[in-house]
């Protein structure tokens, strides 16, 4: 199993993304001693973690979160993008329950805090604490919505709802061509299958069906939605 390597940046280590954007320049500089960590594609930030004391923020790349099932198979539960955070997001030291985090598709750059350090930051910046609470709440609702989608809907509906939600979440990077919208794709058929609770073969078949219905097309690089 590969482990991540650390690289020390000479510039700012935390981009002013959706969480940190409300900090003043002076407050922002207080975070500047945190080191960047470069994670090579396929390497793990942690694997089967339990007592893991850190929280991580993604600067570049994608991170795949998952766990091992009873047969030792890797089950993907989320794939995160720049601006997302992972690790001990509930700010408790024993809440990962065997989770793994892995750089996905490309190299990734992340920065990390110990829980004690990050809790001090939240205490000193109430607005940041409130924003963190809101974003964490959204993440929890998203997970609940995905579970409800799996439990209540047929597979094709689950796939369509998943793709629609994906479009909403990456709308800032979407490109519009009349009624056609294109978004970058970072998912495989297998990833989507695990995230909606079905098989890779079913996802492949349904994506072909959606293409023939002129709803969307799926390639390694992008997703195209029509008549939006």
Domain membership of residue 10 as a residue range:
5-141
Q: Which of 95, 136, 110, 115 is nearest to 44 (CA)?
A: 110
The verdict on 127 and 216 lying in the same domain is no
The verdict on 130 and 216 lying in the same domain is no
CB neighbourhood size of 20 (10 A): 19
Q: Is residue 196 part of a domain?
A: yes
Residue 45 to residues 34, 61, 152, 214: CA-CA distances in angstroms? Answer: 16, 13, 34, 40
Instruction: Kindly report, residue by residue over 21-58, the tens digit of the pLDDT.
Output: 777 777 766 665 566 889 999 999 999 887 788 899 99
Please state the rounded mean pLDDT for residues 181-187.
90
Residue 217 has pLDDT above 90, yes or no: yes
Please provide the size of the chain in residues. Answer: 228
* Residues 2, 50: Cα–Cα separation, whole Å: 18
Q: Is residue 132 part of a domain?
A: yes
* Residues 38, 54: Cα–Cα separation, whole Å: 16
169 band by pLDDT with thresholds 50, 70 and 90: confident
Which residue, 106, 141, 176, sits at the end of a domain?
141
Cα 182 from chain centre: 19
CATH number where 15 lies: 2.60.120.10
Q: Which of 29, 50, 39, 35 is nearest to 5 (CA)?
A: 39
Which residue, 95, 112, 141, sits at the end of a domain?
141
Task: Specify the range with the lowest mean pLDDT, choosing from 6-10, 33-37, 50-54, 181-185.
Answer: 6-10
> What's the pLDDT score for residue 101?
95
Q: Is residue 17 part of a domain?
A: yes
The verdict on 182 and 131 lying in the same domain is no
The verdict on 127 and 164 lying in the same domain is no
Instruction: Kindly report, residue by residue over 96-114, the tens digit of the pLDDT.
Output: 778 999 998 899 999 888 8
Q: Is residue 204 part of a domain?
A: yes
* Residues 68, 96: Cα–Cα separation, whole Å: 13
18 band by pLDDT with thresholds 50, 70 and 90: low
């Amino acid at each position: 199993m590969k482990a991540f390597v650390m690289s020390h940046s000479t510039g700012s280590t935390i981009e002013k993304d959706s969480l940190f954007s409300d900090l003043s320049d002076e407050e922002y500089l207080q975070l500047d001693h945190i080191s960047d960590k470069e994670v090579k594609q396929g390497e793990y930030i942690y694997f089967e973690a339990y007592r893991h004391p850190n929280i991580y923020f993604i600067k570049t790349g994608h991170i795949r979160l998952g766990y091992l099932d009873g047969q030792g198979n890797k089950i993907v539960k989320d794939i995160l993008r720049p601006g997302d955070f992972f690790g001990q997001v509930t700010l408790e030291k024993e809440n990962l329950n065997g989770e793994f985090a892995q750089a996905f598709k490309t190299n990734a750059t992340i920065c990390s805090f110990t829980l004690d350090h990050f809790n001090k930051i939240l205490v000193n910046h109430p607005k940041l604490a409130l924003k963190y609470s809101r974003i964490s709440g959204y993440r929890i609702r998203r997970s609940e919505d995905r579970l409800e989608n799996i439990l209540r809907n047929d597979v094709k509906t689950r796939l369509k709802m998943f793709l629609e939600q994906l479009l909403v979440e990456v709308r800032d990077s979407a490109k519009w061509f009349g009624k056609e919208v294109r978004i970058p794709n970072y998912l495989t058929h297998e990833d989507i299958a695990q995230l909606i609770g079905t098989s890779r073969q079913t996802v492949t078949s349904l994506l072909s069906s959606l293409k023939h219905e002129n709803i969307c097309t799926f390639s390694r690089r992008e997703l195209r939605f029509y008549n939006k």
